[in-house]
């Protein structure tokens, strides 16, 4: 399968391990990524706070380039913010005639044009979970992640907003859970899986951000997660690089490594850890990875509990994936 690929600025340096591991698993899964040539920044959440038309023009230049270069009509972004911005621009330009006319004129000034709806903007998680599918993922697993307790963390911008047609539930997404289960990992219940990491608040109001980060780390620690698997460079950076600050601020002692789900996929596919960007995380993933065993852990006791008559009549968790 062939996709146009928009890496985004984070994947160039800060989230290099996300890019490297994505390319590594693409090979195993038979995916071909064609990078959009000369792509520019999507504007993150900043540009739209200052000026509307230039913000949409900035994003749409990428859509125009991707459509013109014609690598594929499916455009994939691994970064949540890039994904949302690209998808939102495509969606709103199709809906809002006034904005569309202005963007058309702006692009024309650079010799470009874009017809809304001509690309299908997808997040990396979507193509792996939906286009590739769980069976194919499981078929590639050579070294299952037995005994590794992973918290699946989706953040905000991939599951929401659903108005543009999300592939997963906006509040209770399960696709990443399912992928990690197929890798053999023990996926913990992670009620805050789609809560916010604070985004750029670490720069603007650190206390606001630290509280949001503390909640996530506490939730993962309460459920005895060995690590948190993420799909967004911003979430990874905040949880990883500010974990020290959270500990200092709240007097806690969290040491939860934050890795990209693609790194765990690569590991389970039997690829060497150093080719997947492991080691670039600030809270080392090594102690957690050493917990991986060759034998499958015994099924969790929680399932048996539902059968006891003394329990409250709560709905049982459906079997997934």
Partner 1 sequence: MTHTVTSRPPTLFDNVIAETPGKALNLHACLQCGTCAGSCPSGPDMDHSPRAIFAMLDAGMDDEVLNSNTPWFCVSCYYCMVRCPQEIPITDIMYTLKRLAIKEGYYQEDKAPEFSETFCDFVEHNGRSFELGIAMRYHLRYHPLGAFKMAAGMGLHLFRKGRMDLTPSRIKNVSQLKSILNKAKELGGAA
- Interface residues with partner 1 (CB under 8 A) are 9-10, 12-16, 38-41, 43-54, 56-58, 61, 92, 95-96, 99, 102-103, 105-112, 156-157, 160-163, 170-171, 195-196, 198-201, 203-205, 207-208, 212, 237, 241-242, 244-245, 279-282
Alpha-carbon gap, residue 192 to 172, rounded angstroms: 9
Nearer to partner 1, 272 or 279 (CB): 279
Nearer to partner 1, 141 or 282 (CB): 282
Residues 159 and 168: beta-carbon distance below 8 Å: yes
Nearer to partner 1, 103 or 151 (CB): 103
Rounded to the nearest 5°, which phi and psi values hold at 260?
-85, 145
Query: The dihedral of CA 302, 221, 257, 202: what is its sign?
Result: positive
Rounded to the nearest 5°, which phi and psi values hold at 129?
-75, -40
Rounded to a whole number of angstroms, the minimum distance from the CB of residue 69 to partner 1 is 13
Nearer to partner 1, 9 or 141 (CB): 9
Nearer to partner 1, 10 or 72 (CB): 10
Alpha-carbon gap, residue 86 to 144, rounded angstroms: 35
Alpha-carbon gap, residue 272 to 304, rounded angstroms: 37
Rounded to a whole number of angstroms, the minimum distance from the CB of residue 316 to partner 1 is 26
SS3 category, 286: helix
Q: CB within 8 A of 194, min separation 6: which ones?
A: 154, 155, 156, 159, 160, 170, 171, 172, 173
Alpha-carbon gap, residue 90 to 56, rounded angstroms: 9
Residues 170 and 162: beta-carbon distance below 8 Å: yes
**Residue 63, beta-bridge partner list:** none
Rounded to a whole number of angstroms, the minimum distance from the CB of residue 10 to partner 1 is 7
Nearer to partner 1, 187 or 209 (CB): 209
Rounded to a whole number of angstroms, the minimum distance from the CB of residue 39 to partner 1 is 7
Rounded to a whole number of angstroms, the minimum distance from the CB of residue 94 to partner 1 is 10
Nearer to partner 1, 34 or 41 (CB): 41
Nearer to partner 1, 207 or 253 (CB): 207
Rounded to a whole number of angstroms, the minimum distance from the CB of residue 178 to partner 1 is 21
Total residue length of the chain: 321
Rounded to a whole number of angstroms, the minimum distance from the CB of residue 111 to partner 1 is 7
Rounded to a whole number of angstroms, the minimum distance from the CB of residue 287 to partner 1 is 17
Percent of the chain as helix, strand, coil, to the nearest 5: 50, 10, 45
């Amino acid at each position: 399968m062939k996709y146009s690929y928009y890496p985004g600025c984070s994947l160039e340096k800060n989230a290099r391990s996300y890019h490297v591991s994505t390319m590594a698993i693409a090979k195993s899964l038979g995916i071909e990524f064609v990078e959009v040539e000369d792509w520019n920044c999507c504007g993150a959440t900043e540009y739209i706070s200052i000026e509307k038309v230039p913000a949409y023009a900035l994003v749409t230049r990428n859509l125009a380039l991707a459509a013109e270069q014609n690598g594929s009509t499916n455009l994939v972004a691994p970064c949540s913010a890039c994904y949302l911005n690209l998808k939102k621009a495509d969606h709103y330009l199709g809906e809002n005639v006034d904005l569309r006319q202005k963007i058309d004129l702006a692009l024309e000034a650079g010799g470009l044009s874009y017809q809304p709806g001509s690309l299908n903007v997808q997040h990396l998680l979507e193509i792996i979970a939906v286009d590739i599918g769980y069976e194919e993922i499981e078929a590639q697993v050579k070294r299952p992640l037995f005994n590794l307790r992973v918290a699946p963390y989706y953040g905000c911008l991939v599951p929401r907003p659903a108005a543009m047609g999300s592939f997963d539930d906006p509040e209770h997404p399960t696709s990443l859970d399912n992928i990690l289960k197929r890798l053999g990992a023990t996926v913990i219940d992670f009620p805050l899986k789609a809560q916010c990491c604070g985004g750029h608040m670490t720069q603007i109001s650190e206390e606001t951000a630290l509280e949001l980060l503390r909640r996530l780390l506490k939730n993962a620690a309460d459920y005895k997660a060995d690590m948190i698997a993420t799909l967004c460079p911003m979430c990874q950076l905040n949880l990883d690089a500010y974990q020290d600050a959270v500990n200092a601020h709240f007097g806690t002692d969290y040491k939860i490594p934050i890795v990209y789900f693609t790194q765990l996929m690569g590991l389970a596919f039997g690829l060497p850890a150093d080719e997947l960007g492991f080691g670039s995380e600030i809270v080392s993933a090594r102690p957690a990875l050493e917990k991986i065993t060759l034998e499958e852990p015994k099924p969790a006791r929680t399932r048996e509990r539902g059968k006891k008559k003394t329990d409250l009549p709560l709905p049982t968790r459906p079997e997934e994936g």
